[in-house]
Amino acid sequence: MKYSYKLSDAIHILAYLAIFSDGDRSSKAIAASIEANPSVVRALMADLKRAGLIESRPGAADPTLSREPGKINLLQVYQALAINHDLLHVDPKTNPACPVGANIQQSLDEVYAKVQQAAETQLAETSLAEVVEGIRTRAKLTD
């Protein structure tokens, strides 16, 4: 099973822009913080820009948040990403001749839909400002 870190990295980018609003905001600097390739950062920033969460100008390494961190929720970030937005996935290859194999997908689809809704509700209720505050507190950073 392969994990995607796109959501985590996208939130990382936004938090970095909020915390280092007067610092080096180049994709290279952000990539160093994430420990990723700058091209990965640029691709995620393109998603965030398309969603209206960040603003940037061609040729300038100075992206900024499009609004205050308290007005960006994590569901908006999640929805901005070019990913499969289902958190959980049912194995589509099960034995239809077996009572379990024939019915597991529909049963799990119902459960997974509830989990998806709960996760999205929690993401919508969590602002980028809360994440930034947690980082500032743990890193003992001040404004």
Q: What is the DSSP letter of 102?
A: H
Rounded distance between C-alpha atoms, residue 60 and residue 54, angstroms: 14
Per-residue pLDDT of the chain (143 residues; tens, 9 = 90+): 567 899 999 999 999 999 999 999 999 999 999 999 999 999 999 999 999 999 998 877 789 999 999 999 999 999 999 888 888 989 999 999 999 999 999 999 999 999 999 999 999 999 999 999 999 999 998 76
Q: What is the pLDDT of residue 57?
A: 84
Distances (CA, A) of 124 to 14, 51, 71, 78, 106: 16, 15, 11, 10, 27
Q: What is the pLDDT of residue 30?
A: 97
Q: What is the pLDDT of residue 32?
A: 98
Q: What is the pLDDT of residue 143?
A: 67
Sign of CA dihedral 46, 52, 56, 58: positive
User: What are the domain boundaries of the chain?
Assistant: 6-139
Q: Does domain 6-139 have CATH number 1.10.10.10?
A: yes
Q: What is the pLDDT of residue 2?
A: 66
What pTM was computed for the model? 0.90
